[in-house]
Chains A and B, each alone.
Chain A
Amino acid sequence: MRLLLVEDDAMIGESVRLGLRRDGFTVDWVQDGRAAELALANAVYDLMLLDLGLPKKDGLEVLKTLRRGGNRIPVLVLTARDSVGDRITGLDGGADDYLVKPFDLDELSARIRALLRRRAGRVESLMQCGELTLNPVTREAALGGRRLALSAREFAVLEALLDRPGAVLSREQLEEKLYGWEEEVESNAIEVYIHGLRKKLGADFIKNIRGVGYMVSKQ
């Protein structure tokens, strides 16, 4: 899952990025409101983490512009503004959740997963498709009760496909979910991961729609 982190404080931004990366998220980080808007224009993000006190354009303004433009990306506000009034303003301004600084990294991850789950219309934290079960919290996968050994990237590919079963994701879309800005994308890396996954899950689990992309069927 690819997240956009908007945070002007270098130390906080760096730590949040590190922490979320360790939890399996791909994180892009910008430090002001304008840069956030530019990044959002690409529409590759599954969720945005937004600080409110931002240079150049205030976080709340960014949020309002975003919602006015019809963008429905889940937004989790991270802020030091802790009064009830501020929280109400934030939520009414279009935020899906509100977390007051200082916060716990595990709680942040959990809230991000909850928002992603809700967006996908799931109520269970486990992702399931036929015999396959993915646990986004522990990053573990099981097939028919048997634990599957997956690399972090392979897990990420499966997670992206299982997030919307029946939807076709192109190779580029999968790459965007897996790689942040600074990361070098190895050519045909996605094909390599799909190949590995098919060996572990069986050849038909991930379907190749020729010329379009990959898909996991709704069961």
Chain B
Amino acid sequence: MTSIRRRLLIWLVAGLAVTTLAAALAVYMRARMEAAELFDYQLQVMAAAFPRGGYGEAPSAGDEDMSAGDVVVVQIWNRNGSQLYWSRPGSPILQRVEFGFSTVATPRGEWRVFNTLIDGNIVQVSQPMRARNELAAGLALRTMLPLLILLPLLVGLIWITVSRGLKPLNAVAAALGRRSEDALEPLPVRRVPGEVKPLVAALNDLLARLGRALDAQKSFIADAAHELRTPLTAVSLQIQIAERARTADERTTAFAQLKAGADRAGRLVQQLLTLARSEPGAAERPFATVNLTEIAREAVAEHAPIAEAKGLELGLSADTVVSATGDSDALRTLLANLIDNAVHYTPSGGAVDVAVFVRDGQACWIVTDTGPGIPADERQRVFDRFYRRDVAGAAGSGLGLAIVQRVAQRHGATVELADGAAGRGLRVTVRFPAR
């Protein structure tokens, strides 16, 4: 799990520890440098201040501890190299004469040595380096100690600050967690810190879109249930009539009507399913190249018997193969709905013509009829689902053109309603996008 709190804490504490260490190191280096200068000066002064002549025998110190930090050893040799004085016998003998300061490695660690010539005698003052290192380390430690003590305190402070900083996020999460699934009102944006605001705004946007989708679903279901009630009422009444039939003739008629009623209910359910499938977000089949001419030919052939029975002239005008990109099943439904409508509303003796062609690089389907047409002020509303026009014999589901519209939208196509030939009837043009 990635936790902002943990990550912040790890980085801040690690950063703090590294900086503290670096600071301690810097203090130590600096202190050592200054200690070196100081001690060197001390050695020099000591050498200069040493009494001239009259050195007694150096006292024998035996096995004295030479590791103590404050040890300073003085040795004096005469010109011939015989030792005149040795302040601490047993200390390392650093006879290599090199005037001035030098650092010498001995079996007892590194020593700092100062050699000088005084009255013809060589005076050597030496001291272990450890002394100055210890001083520097002690100094560094004392400087850094308060910081080291403060470190846990800082960690606690960071913990609290980070927790407080994340509180608005927790509040948003809690507010969302408490909600029921249909509470889609936006989260309050006031008093939300700037960093969390984009998140809350995005959530609110999502909630709003969800709300709209849910409302559309609800109204669709309510509409669908309402629309289903009519055919089901008809079927229920037809069953009651069939039950009461007293003669075989009456029964035959009643059952024929019952079958028609059941067919109608079935058709409505089919249309509702088609519409639901053509809604955005439904599982969509992949687009492929579709032969619009072939679909039109099939659709016209399919409707030919009904048109024939109604005394309509139904025909297709197509010169070439016209193609588009799309879902062939959906497009078949679209055209079938348009031809259904045309055949249904056109009175006997009329004509329905289906045309396929390309204009300005755009594939087009046109269905023209000689029916009553649709007045201009109703041409927008007829696409609403369940909208039925106030005309005699209009017994459709009110879904046909809604389905046409949805399918067209999915394909980026436009549907246009206009007057038919010579201002009579209806002409529906489906124009596909240029490929």
With the chains together, A10 CA to B230 CA distance in Å? 10
Residue of B260, B391, B392 with most partner-chain A CB within 10 A: B392
Do A55 and B390 form a contact, CB below 8 Å, given A11-B260, A11-B261? Answer: yes
**Chain A: residues with CB nearer than 8 A to chain B?**
9-12, 14-16, 18-19, 22, 31-32, 55-56, 80, 101-106
Which of B85-93, B234-242, B365-373 lines the interface with chain A?
B234-242
Whether B226 is near chain A, meaning CB under 8 Å from some CB there, is yes
8 Å CB contact of B230 from A15, A56, A80, A104: A80
Closest residue on chain B to residue A80 by CB atoms: B229
| B257 contacts A101, C-beta separation under 8 Å | no
| A19 contacts B233, C-beta separation under 8 Å | no
Whether B183 is near chain A, meaning CB under 8 Å from some CB there, is no
8 Å CB contact of A15 from B234, B390, B395: B234
**Chain B: residues with CB nearer than 8 A to chain A?**
226, 229-234, 236-238, 240-241, 244, 257, 260-261, 264, 388, 390-392, 395
A80 contacts which chain B residues (CB < 8 A)?
Answer: 226, 229-230, 233
| B257 contacts A102, C-beta separation under 8 Å | no
Inter-chain pairs besides A11-B234, A55-B388, 7 sampled, C-beta below 8 Å: A11-B237, A11-B238, A15-B237, A80-B229, A102-B233, A105-B237, A105-B244
Closest Cβ–Cβ distance, residue A195 to chain B (whole Å): 28
Residue of B226, B233, B388, B390 with most partner-chain A CB within 10 A: B233
Interface class of chain B by DSSP: helix
Closest Cβ–Cβ distance, residue A209 to chain B (whole Å): 38
With the chains together, A14 CA to B235 CA distance in Å? 11
Closest residue on chain B to residue A57 by CB atoms: B390
Closest residue on chain A to residue B234 by CB atoms: A11
B229 contacts which chain A residues (CB < 8 A)?
Answer: 80, 101-102
| A19 contacts B390, C-beta separation under 8 Å | no
| B233 contacts A101, C-beta separation under 8 Å | yes
B236 contacts which chain A residues (CB < 8 A)?
Answer: 102-104
| B244 contacts A15, C-beta separation under 8 Å | no
Do A19 and B395 form a contact, CB below 8 Å, given A102-B232, A102-B233? Answer: no
8 Å CB contact of B237 from A16, A22, A32: A16
Closest Cβ–Cβ distance, residue B426 to chain A (whole Å): 19
| A9 contacts B234, C-beta separation under 8 Å | yes
The 7 A-B residue pairs whose C-beta atoms are closest, nearest first, are A15-B237, A11-B234, A55-B390, A102-B233, A101-B233, A102-B236, A80-B229
B234 contacts which chain A residues (CB < 8 A)?
Answer: 9, 11-12, 15
| B233 contacts A12, C-beta separation under 8 Å | yes
A101 contacts which chain B residues (CB < 8 A)?
Answer: 229-230, 233
| A15 contacts B226, C-beta separation under 8 Å | no
A55 contacts which chain B residues (CB < 8 A)?
Answer: 388, 390-391
| B238 contacts A15, C-beta separation under 8 Å | yes
With the chains together, A72 CA to B244 CA distance in Å? 33
B237 contacts which chain A residues (CB < 8 A)?
Answer: 11-12, 15-16, 19, 102, 105
Closest residue on chain B to residue A31 by CB atoms: B392
A22 contacts which chain B residues (CB < 8 A)?
Answer: 244
Closest residue on chain B to residue A22 by CB atoms: B244
Do A11 and B264 form a contact, CB below 8 Å, given A80-B229, A101-B230, A102-B232? Answer: yes
Do A11 and B257 form a contact, CB below 8 Å, given A55-B390, A101-B229, A101-B233? Answer: yes
